Amino acid sequence: MSLRQASGPQYSRILAIAGVRGDNVVTNDDVAGPIDSSDEWIRQRTGIVTRRRAGSDVDVVDLSERAARKALEAAGLEGSDIDVVLLSTVTYFHQTPAAAAIVADRIGATPAAAYDISAACAGYSYGIGQADAMVRAGLARNVLVIGAEKMSDFIDPTDRSISFLLGDGAGAAIVGASDSPGIGPTIWGSDGGRASLITQTASLPEAVSSGVMPTLRQEGASVFKWAVWQMAPIAQQAIEAAGLTPDDIDVFVPHQANMRIIDQLIKQLKLPERVVVGRDIAETGNTSAASIPLATERLLREGLAKSGDVALQIGFGAGLVYAAQVVVLP
């Protein structure tokens, strides 16, 4: 017997990144009342000025489809060029079938392999890591990675821990073969012993028996400490694994959880001042899996970052889970 194993191109890269945000602009004044807060308090605590939320007629699949179509157009590809659709979300209402398969069909990618990733705010970076491996292993020509969330379906207006941070949107990236290195090694992991730090308030059976939709909660101060002092070394490892130093980094795109986390991460990583930092949270809010591609597409669209720039990205969140890698921007 002579079993053949798949092999692929030596390198992969992100061919295109695109995103969409919820249509409605929600101000701090709009959310401050039920949490007995103020615009000033929210800005000072989180750096958020507005968050973008989608209407009731839009779901995770709709947001994903819109982002995916834009990414395909930017890459000059058709749906039929996509072999795998990876969709990271924690806010799709169906446990099965996966949103990814429906999105694949809507964009003409059928029969692409398609599945959802449940890795919360690290999901996009999990997806990029998997897509990189799939392309280089010859498992797929092009992989569509989507981070999509409609967080507003899981908020409690009276919750002071996380709800007021959250926004809706979808970011999409296409990963394909490359002539030169475009995606560094993914440093990823989990810490389920701390699962209670960010949770859903009820399981499905509990929600059915109480008649109340589950929402999200977090232990904000503990998450802050973890996100800064445990995640900075992970980001550092991603730089080192890519054979680079902080001086090689042009752009830093951490998960958009809270501006205070972003600022403290920059400090701990000792990134040079010239490094451009994704700060999309100020206008979009925390969109979980969508936040890294949305922050990246904004930097590219506004000309603050450019094609060929070397970007460090790190996602971290409920699980706890995390993933970081260095990528070359499309």
How are beta strands 143-150 and 84-88 bridged, if at all? parallel
Distance, CA of 192 to CA of 213 (rounded, Å): 24
- Number of alpha carbons in the 13 Å side-chain half-sphere of residue 74: 23
Catalytic residue among 28, 121, 142, 258: 121
CB burial of residue 274 (10 Å; 0-12, 13-18, 19+): exposed
- Neighbouring residues of 39: CB distance < 8 A, sequence distance ≥ 6: 27, 28, 29, 32
Identify the residue among 43, 106, 141, 225 touching another protein (CB under 8 A). 225
- Dihedral of CA 97/102/108/112: which sign? negative
> Are 127 and 114 in contact, with CB atoms under 8 Å apart?
no
Is residue 121 annotated as part of the catalytic site, yes or no? yes
286 is catalytic: yes
Question: Catalytic: 258?
Answer: no
Least distance in Å: CB of 197 to another protein? Answer: 9
Tell me: does residue 264 bind another protein (CB under 8 A).
Answer: yes
Give the total of residues touching another protein (CB under 8 A).
12
Does 224 help bind another protein (rule: CB under 8 A)? yes
**What mask of x and - would describe binding to another protein in positions 180 to 219, judged by CB under 8 A?**
---------------------------------------x
Copy the structure tokens of residue 119.
């890795």
The CA distance from 121 to 314, in Å, is: 9
Question: To the nearest whole angstrom, how small is the minimum distance from the Cβ of residue 228 to another protein?
Answer: 8
Buried b (16+ CB within 10 A) or exposed e, 108-142: ebeebbbebbebbbbbbbbbbbbbbbbbbeebbbb
Instruction: Give the x-and-dash track for 309-328 against another protein (CB under 8 A).
Output: --------------------
Active-site residue identified among 28, 142, 258, 286: 286
Instruction: State in angstroms the smallest separation of the CB of 261 from another protein.
Output: 8
48 binds another protein (CB under 8 A): no
Q: How far is the CB of 219 from another protein (least distance, A)?
A: 7
Q: Which C-beta is closer to another protein: that of 208 or that of 221?
A: 221
The footprint of another protein (CB under 8 A) covers 45, 219-222, 224-225, 228-229, 258, 260, 264
Residues with a catalytic annotation lie at 121, 255, 286
